[in-house]
Every structure is written in structure tokens, then in C-alpha cells.
């Protein structure tokens, strides 16, 4: 059976035991991921005030709504990327590099075909959809830019779609720390491109190209580097075995349903805000979401490397390591997430006044709601990484469908009484009341069994 060059490192008897090797790779991923997330925060700190000042309130509201489409476009991979993490982690636990290669090649071919199809469909629908009406900017200064800005950004997101599989593949190999460097290069290049576009007095579509294309180029570089370091992953004679995609797609489709259900509650805030309150309020919601979203990214940077590690440890039946690591994950998710949320709630408005000016103030109710949401994200994902690694997806789907449906309904009701903060409070109430208790019960029951 073909073995990867890294197979010896995955031997449970090599290098002081597989548990130590797993811990080291998690630590490397966190140490590399944290600076990348901090770079994202710094980039956001610089980008938001630049965008607000250059675009103005109405055009920035459109900007916030358009850029919130990225997680929705990411659903177009049908969950194959997330399914690939478990598939690769499991095969590498068995030192089965040939199966990992076939799964990776088939996954890349399928997602590339899906992205190409959606690009063609987007081009065809671009003349039919009234983007200005959809984003509620008709009759404003942002009306003329709604269509080209949306098409430019969505096209970049679709081009990036198959390249995200490189990061997923590295995650399955427990090499997320390498992807972090390439992703950091993409973020830094996007910020520089944005500043250059502003200096050239470019329109919104060009600005979105400026932040959308660098991650695509970084993804290409990451893929070429992976194939150079792991030549056993290269396709052999156009080896694309779609039968190898079946186990990935079977699990991936469950992840797709899970992500779609979650996106219903988590990624539509700016869109709801611009539809209900208009572009100016959507801008305020967008600014607060980007600030606390950066905090969420830091928490997830600490937790996400646990997913493939849990998967590989469970494949080797290393349950003592799983139980110990789950406790550490909870400490990081609950304690670290809560402390970061409190800090962001205190510094957000002074920072916004410094960046944008005193004309923009985030309401206290919106700050509190976002802080609670960040804490809950840390708690839920600490349990969720174990459930992902164990392949316990159906329960997460049930929980996500239940809380997302409730949250989406509350987003249409609570803003009437709580203003813009009601959009976030809807997610807090639904996620904290449904998802977190179900995730916790399932994870604790699993490690005790």
C-alpha cells in the first residue's frame, strides 16, 4: 500500500507516541493561526474606516451587505471540503495515502465543476436580477454600483471555492499551520490592493476585486506548495475516481445541510438590516459584526485544529487524549471567548470613534448582544469540534435547523422592539437556548460512553 512521506510521523509508537505528535501539530496550528487572525483583525481595523470614509454611509451599507454573501457562496461546495477533513484524517490514521489522494482529486474536480457552473449561471442571471432593489439601495448613491459590485465579489468567491479544499486537505493532514501563512499573505495583499484602489479613486466593483483576488492567488500558491511538499497527492494519469468521492460526499452533504442551516441565522444580519432599516443602519450592524467577527476568528483559530486531531485520535481509539483535550477546548472556548468578548465590548466604541469619527456609535444593546454571541460561539464550537471529529453530524443538523429557524423568525420580530440589536439578540436567544445545550449533552455523552 502506498505510504506518504509523513506516514512514519503518524505511527503511534514513533516520536514519543502519537498523542505527543498530535499535541505538537495542534500547538503549531494555533501558533500559526493566531498571528494570521490577528492580521485579519488589523486588516479589518484599517479597512473599515477607510471604506466608510471613502464610500460614505449609504455605499458602505451596500458594501457590508455584499461582503456578507461570502459565507453563503461558500455553501456551494456542498460540504465536500469539510467532509474531506474527516476522510483524510481517517485514511492517514490508517497510513492509506492512496485513498487520501483519490478522495482529494475527486473532491477538487467536483468542486471546480460546481464553481464553473455557478459562474456561468451568475453571468446569465446578472441581466435579470435587480440588485439595487434586492439590497434596498434604489434611489440612493449606491444604486448604480449594486450590480457590478455584487458580480465582482461573488465571482471572486466562486473562483476561491475549489482552492479552499487545499486548506481543508492540509487540515486533514494536520498541517493547518502552513495554510495560515498563505492565508495571511492573501489578507495582507488584499489590504494593500484596497488602499491602492482607493488612491486610484476606483469604484466599488474595483475595490471588491482588490480584496477578492489576493486570496485566490494565495490559494493557488498554497496548492502548488502542497503538491511540491507532498508529491504523493499529485494525480496519476488524470486519476479522478468519483467513486472515491462517495464517502466524502456522504459526510460532506451532512456538513452542507449543517452549514446552510447555520448560515440562515449567522450570515444574514447585514442583509436583514439593509432590508428593514436601510443602508446606514446596515453599516452600523456591519461594523460591529466585523469587529466581533474578528474575535470569533481568534477563538476558532484556537479550536479548529482540534477537529482533525479528534478525528484521527478517535480512529486510533485514543479516548484518554480525547477527554483531556475536550476539557482544554472548553477552557479556551468559554474562558477565552468570554474574556475576549468583554474586552471588545469595552473598546469597540472608542475604537470606532477613533477610526470613523463620533458620528458612528454602536448601541450598547448591540455590543452586549455581540459579546454574548461571541461567548456562546466559543462554548458551542468547543463541543462542536469533537462532534465533527466523531462524525456526529445529524444531531448538529437537527440542532442547527431548530435554532436557525427560530433565530430567523426572531430576526423579523425583535428589531421592531429592540432596534438593530434585535437582529443579533435573535441569534443569541436561539443558539444559547437550543444549540449549545444539545451540543454539550451529545459531546459529554459520547466521551463518557
Q: Which carries the bigger pLDDT value, residue 339 or residue 174?
A: 339
In the numeric block, which cell numbers belong to residue 91? 485514511
How many other CB atoms sit within 10 Å of the CB of residue 141?
A: 14
Q: What is the pLDDT of residue 312?
A: 81
167 φ, ψ to 5°?
-65, -40
Domain ranges of the chain: 12-448
Best CA proximity match to 400, nearest among 418, 380, 414, 382: 380
Query: Would the pLDDT of 195 be above 80?
Result: yes
- Contact between 77 and 157 (Cβ < 8 Å): no
Q: What is the pLDDT of residue 26?
A: 76
Give the model confidence (pLDDT) of 384-401 as tens digits: 999 988 888 889 889 988
Give the model confidence (pLDDT) of 410-428 as tens digits: 988 998 888 888 999 999 9
Q: What is the pLDDT of residue 369?
A: 92
- Contact between 58 and 141 (Cβ < 8 Å): yes
- Quick one: what percent of the chain has pLDDT higher than 90? 20
Best CA proximity match to 432, nearest among 443, 440, 442, 420: 440
Query: Would the pLDDT of 256 be above 90?
Result: no
Best CA proximity match to 292, nearest among 428, 386, 154: 428
- Contact between 349 and 362 (Cβ < 8 Å): yes
Q: What is the pLDDT of residue 12?
A: 38
Q: How far apart are CA 128 and CA 124, in angstroms?
A: 8
Q: What is the pLDDT of residue 214?
A: 93
User: b/e for 46-81, b at 16 or more Cβ within 10 A?
Assistant: ebbbbbbebbbbbbbbbbbbbbbbbebbbbbbbbbb
Angle in degrees, 0-180, between the axes of helices 279-303 and 269-276, rounded to the nearest 10: 170
Dihedral sign, Cα of residue 285, residue 288, residue 291, residue 296:
negative
Q: How far apart are CA 435 and CA 369, in angstroms?
A: 17
Give the model confidence (pLDDT) of 6-46 as tens digits: 433 334 334 346 667 777 777 777 776 677 777 777 776 67
What is the mean predicted confidence (pLDDT) over 43-62? 80
Q: Is 4 helix (H, G, I), strand (E, B) or coil?
A: coil
What is the mean predicted confidence (pLDDT) over 126-145? 83
* CA distance to 169, 204, 328, 411, per residue, from 405 (Å): 32, 33, 31, 10
Q: What is the pLDDT of residue 6?
A: 41
Give the model confidence (pLDDT) of 122-132 as tens digits: 888 877 888 88
Q: What is the pLDDT of residue 315?
A: 80
What is the mean predicted confidence (pLDDT) over 227-254? 72
Best CA proximity match to 447, nearest among 342, 335, 242, 310: 310
Q: What is the pTM of this model?
A: 0.67
Both ends of the chain: CA-CA distance in Å?
A: 34
Q: Residue 93: which pLDDT band, with cuts at 50, 70 and 90?
A: low
What is the mean predicted confidence (pLDDT) over 95-123? 84
What is the mean predicted confidence (pLDDT) over 69-98? 78
- Quick one: what percent of the chain has pLDDT higher than 70? 90
Give the model confidence (pLDDT) of 427-449 as tens digits: 999 999 999 999 999 998 888 87
Amino acid at each position: 500500500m502506498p505510504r506518504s512521506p509523513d506516514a512514519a510521523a503518524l505511527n503511534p509508537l514513533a516520536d514519543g507516541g502519537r498523542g505527543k505528535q498530535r499535541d505538537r501539530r495542534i500547538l503549531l496550528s494555533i501558533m500559526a493561526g493566531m498571528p494570521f487572525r490577528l492580521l485579519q483583525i488589523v486588516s479589518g481595523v484599517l479597512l473599515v474606516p477607510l471604506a466608510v470614509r471613502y464610500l460614505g454611509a449609504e455605499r458602505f451599507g451596500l458594501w457590508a451587505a455584499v461582503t456578507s454573501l461570502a459565507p453563503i457562496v461558500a455553501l456551494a461546495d456542498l460540504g465536500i471540503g469539510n467532509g474531506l477533513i474527516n476522510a483524510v484524517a481517517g485514511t492517514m490514521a490508517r497510513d492509506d495515502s492512496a485513498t487520501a489522494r483519490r478522495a482529494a482529486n475527486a473532491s477538487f474536480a467536483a468542486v471546480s465543476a460546481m464553481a464553473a457552473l455557478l459562474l456561468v449561471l451568475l453571468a446569465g442571471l446578472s441581466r435579470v436580477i435587480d440588485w439595487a432593489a434586492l439590497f434596498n439601495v434604489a434611489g440612493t448613491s449606491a444604486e448604480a454600483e449594486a450590480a457590478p459590485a455584487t458580480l465582482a465579489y461573488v465571482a471572486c468567491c466562486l473562483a476561491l471555492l475549489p482552492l479552499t479544499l487545499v486548506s481543508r486537505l492540509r487540515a486533514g493532514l494536520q498541517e493547518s499551520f502552513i495554510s495560515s501563512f498563505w492565508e495571511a499573505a492573501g489578507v495582507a495583499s488584499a489590504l494593500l490592493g484596497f488602499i491602492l484602489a482607493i488612491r486610484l479613486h476606483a469604484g466599488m466593483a474595483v475595490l471588491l476585486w482588490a480584496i477578492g483576488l489576493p486570496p485566490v492567488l494565495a490559494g493557488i500558491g498554497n496548492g502548488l506548495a502542497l503538491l511540491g511538499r507532498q508529491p504523493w497527492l499529485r494525480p496519476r494519469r488524470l486519476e479522478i475516481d468519483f467513486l472515491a468521492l462517495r464517502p466524502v460526499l456522504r459526510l460532506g452533504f451532512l456538513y452542507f445541510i449543517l452549514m446552510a442551516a447555520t448560515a440562515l441565522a449567522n450570515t444574514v444580519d447585514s442583509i436583514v438590516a439593509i432590508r428593514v432599516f436601510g443602508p446606514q443602519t446596515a453599516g452600523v450592524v456591519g461594523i460591529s459584526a466585523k469587529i466581533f467577527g474578528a474575535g470569533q476568528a481568534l477563538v476558532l483559530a484556537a479550536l479548529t485544529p482540534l477537529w482533525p486531531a479528534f478525528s484521527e485520535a478517535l480512529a486510533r481509539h485514543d479516548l484518554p487524549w480525547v477527554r483531556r483535550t475536550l476539557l482544554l477546548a472548553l477552557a479556551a472556548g468559554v474562558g477565552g471567548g468570554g474574556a475576549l468578548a468583554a474586552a471588545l465590548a469595552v473598546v469597540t466604541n472608542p475604537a470606532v470613534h477613533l477610526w470613523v469619527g463620533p458620528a458612528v456609535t454602536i448601541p450598547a444593546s448591540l455590543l452586549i448582544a455581540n459579546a454574548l454571541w461571541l461567548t456562546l460561539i466559543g462554548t458551542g464550537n468547543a463541543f462542536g469540534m469533537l462532534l465533527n471529529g466523531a462524525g456526529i453530524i445529524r444531531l448538529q443538523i437537527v440542532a442547527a435547523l431548530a435554532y436557525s429557524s427560530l433565530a430567523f423568525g426572531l430576526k423579523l420580530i425583535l428589531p421592531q422592539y429592540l432596534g438593530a440589536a434585535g437582529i443579533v439578540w435573535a441569534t443569541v436567544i436561539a443558539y444559547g437556548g437550543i444549540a449549545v445545550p444539545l451540543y454539550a449533552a451529545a459531546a459529554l455523552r459520547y466521551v463518557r460512553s
